[in-house]
Amino acid sequence: MSERIVTMISKEEIAKRVQELGAEISDHYRSNPPVLVCVLKGSFVFAADLARAIDTSVRIDFLGMRSYGEGTESSGVVQITQDLSRPIAGEDVLIVEDIVDTGLTIAHLIDLFRTRAPRSVKVCALLHKPARAKVQVKVDYLGFTIEDRFVVGYGLDFAEKYRNLPYIGVVERS
Ligand code: XMP
Ligand code: MG
């Protein structure tokens, strides 16, 4: 069986949207520099581009998370593999996620961070699949709403492959 990737969102479309998100975020946080929390591994490409599209001071931290299983279904059971390097008490936290699917991961993260007394917690996600929502989460800054297809590229993987594709695509098997 062979796999091929069909482009869903081109690198030019992503670049344009990331610039727009960066401008919105810069305006909102102009007088209060946020902490960008890059959720590893999937968000590493998006967070790197987004950070450079923000023209106000930011701090950047990383949170390692793993959903159990290597399939294409999120189990909703998540494990923290690497915690933040510094406390977030009193900080304005902006979680940078690759994709909000069922919403379980982001809901779990927001609950976890709230126990650490930040001043605010907001979410920026590149992609959102509303068709699969199991819990309602507010995505404050959203790149694209997509249909219910498993996507790869621009940080997103299928069994650890395709993270380095510069665009978002769908895996097709034949
Ligand atoms: P939930 O369902 O908790 O899922 O909102 C969030 C996490 O699940 C992974 N995920 C995907 N990964 N292509 C991927 O490569 C997809 O289409 C996809 N949908 C969900 C991802 O790690 C995300 O953070
Ligand atoms: Mg992820």
CA distances from 97 to 10, 43, 133 (A): 19, 5, 15
d(CA 89, CA 99): 26
Q: Which two tokens stand for residue 157?
A: 């993987």
**ipTM for the predicted complex:** 0.93
**Closest-lying ligand 1 atom to the alpha carbon of residue 158:** 15
Condensed to tens digits (0 to 9), the pLDDT of residues 127-140 reads 999 998 899 999 99
Residue 164 lies in a domain: no
Mean pLDDT for 7-11 is 98
pLDDT for residue 13: 98
128 vs 67 pLDDT, higher one: 128
Give the active site residue among 61, 92, 101, 148. 101
Residue 38 lies in a domain: yes
Starting at the edge strand that comes first in sequence, how are the strands of the sheet with 59-67 ordered?
78-82, 59-67, 35-40, 92-100, 120-128, 141-145
Q: State the distance from the centre of ligand 1 to the C-alpha of 101, rounded, in angstroms.
A: 6
Residue type, 20: E
From atom 22 of ligand 1, which residue's Cα is the shortest distance away? Answer: 42
Residue 78 has pLDDT above 90, yes or no: no
Residue 49 lies in a domain: yes
Q: State the distance from the centre of ligand 2 to the C-alpha of 23, rounded, in angstroms.
A: 23
Q: Containing domain of residue 42, as a range?
A: 12-70+77-148
Please identify which residue in the block is written with the tokens 């923000």: 54
Residue 173 lies in a domain: no
CATH code of the domain covering residue 110: 3.40.50.2020
pLDDT for residue 142: 98
Q: State the distance from the centre of ligand 1 to the C-alpha of 32, rounded, in angstroms.
A: 30
Percent of the chain at pLDDT above 70?
95
Residue 33 lies in a domain: yes
Strands (E), 35-112: 35-40, 59-67, 78-82, 92-100
Per the annotation, the verdict on 101 as an active-site residue is yes
From atom 9 of ligand 1, which residue's Cα is the shortest distance away? Answer: 74
Number of domains making up the chain: 1
Confidence category of residue 68, pLDDT binned at 50, 70, 90 = low
Residue 110 lies in a domain: yes
Residue 2 lies in a domain: no
Mean pLDDT for 67-90 is 79
Condensed to tens digits (0 to 9), the pLDDT of residues 91-125 reads 999 999 999 999 999 999 999 999 999 999 999 99
Residue 37 lies in a domain: yes
Q: Give the residues surrounding ligand 1 with Cβ less than 6 Å away.
A: 42, 67, 74, 76, 97-106, 150-152, 156-157
Confidence category of residue 162, pLDDT binned at 50, 70, 90 = very high
Task: Note the residue count of the chain.
Answer: 174
pLDDT for residue 75: 61
pLDDT for residue 41: 94
